[in-house]
Amino acid sequence: MSPTDSLSYSTARWCPAPPAAALEHLSTAAGIARWNLGLTHCHAAGPGLLTGISLFDGVQAWLQVQVDAARGLVDYAVGADPQALSPRFRASVRAGEQLGYAQGGCVVTLEAWRTADMAQPRWQQLTRTLDTEIDLVAAQLTAAPAAPAAPVEQPATRRRISSGSPWEALAGYSRAVVDGDWIFVSGTVGQDFATLVMPDSAAAQTQLALDTIARALREADANLDDVVQVRVYIPHREDVAAVSGVLKERLGAARPTNTTVCSPLALDGARVELEVTARRIRPSPPPIP
């Protein structure tokens, strides 16, 4: 039986790297993102959970990682639904001296199992991909570690504000960035980030989004009256009037510039997303006598 006809497939390489380094490369988001395991744009979505775009069908896929450090094993469960992942891949790391090789290196193995409904062309593509990925792992572990990048100096006046939204953690962004007197607030949907509940109406979602924005501005020693620009994204054109009415009520005193765009939103159920820029208005210093 050829490898592409079998129910499982494994491929291994020798790596002149310590087993602990190999295990970390195979089990952390930073490591997996470099060699993919069938995903592009792979990034952490929670403890032991990664997400990215499938190399095989271009849809979002999920990857759960479980590590048995004592045995040098990493199990990967994959699928399109993070609540229903299937154990399909395993990586193992064996110290070189255990197999009669040089001390300080290791043998890394990647293994995949074929599902009952997987067509032969897809299985062949998967086995070829696994061979490429084990070559990447070996090359990355063999290469000399890059010198750490010099820290990027940030202006002393810049600081970041978080609202605790899970989307900030997922995409690695701040709810607001304060730079001097300027405050830049990320696109904000009308969702209660503690419960992840959204009201049904566009007007209620707009109120909730503005509440989140107002809290971020207060943390930056500003308020809604300091808003100078608002960008509004609405998936349904018929909601424009309702959203605009709330904006007039809450931002009317500021009279900011406004750009409204009818566009799909990334979050299911979201009927509005607001992005604002504000500038703190500081009182003029008293004249010098």
Q: Which of 67, 62, 64, 63 is nearest to 24 (CA)?
A: 67
pLDDT band at 156 (very low <50, low <70, confident <90, very high): low
Say if 3-142 and 158-279 have the same CATH topology.
no
Per-residue pLDDT, 154: 53
168-199, pLDDT tens digit by residue?
Answer: 877 889 999 999 899 999 999 999 887 888 99
**Distance of alpha carbon 194 from the chain centroid:** 19
What is the domain partition of the chain in residue ranges? 3-142, 158-279
In this structure, what DSSP letter does residue 201 have? S
Per-residue pLDDT, 36: 84
d(CA 185, CA 275): 6
pLDDT band at 146 (very low <50, low <70, confident <90, very high): very low
Write phi, then psi, for 180 (nearest 5 degrees): 65, -130
**Contact between residue 239 and residue 280 where contact means Cβ atoms under 8 Å apart:** no
Bridge partners of 13, per DSSP, are 108
% pLDDT > 90, the chain: 58
156 vs 182, higher pLDDT: 182
Buried-exposed string 212-248: b where 16+ CB fall within 10 A, e elsewhere = bbbebbebbebebebbeebbbbbeeeebeebbbebbe
Whether the predicted model's global pTM rises above the 0.85 cut: no
Residue count (the chain) = 289
d(CA 48, CA 28): 8
DSSP per-residue letters across 101-140 = S-TT-EEEEEEEE--TT--HHHHHHHHHHHHHHHHHHHHH
32-62, pLDDT tens digit by residue?
Answer: 988 888 888 888 888 889 988 887 777 889 9
From 29-33, 147-151, 265-269, the region with the lowest mean pLDDT: 147-151
d(CA 57, CA 80): 11
Question: How does the average pLDDT of the chain come out, rounded?
Answer: 88
Q: Region 243-256: what's the mean pLDDT?
A: 95
From 4-8, 104-108, 126-130, the region with the lowest mean pLDDT: 4-8
64-81, pLDDT tens digit by residue?
Answer: 999 999 999 999 999 989
Tell me which H or E stretch contains 246.
helix 240-251
Residue with tokens 């690695």: 172
Topology, domain 158-279: 60s Ribosomal Protein L30; Chain: A; (3.30.1330)
Tell me which H or E stretch contains 31.
helix 29-35
- Please, which residues have CB within 8 angstroms of residue 104's CB and are 6 or more apart in sequence? 16, 18, 96
In this predicted structure, the answer to whether residue 149 has a pLDDT above a threshold of 70 is: no
Please give the CATH superfamily to which domain 3-142 belongs.
START domain (3.30.530.20)
Q: Region 128-136: what's the mean pLDDT?
A: 91
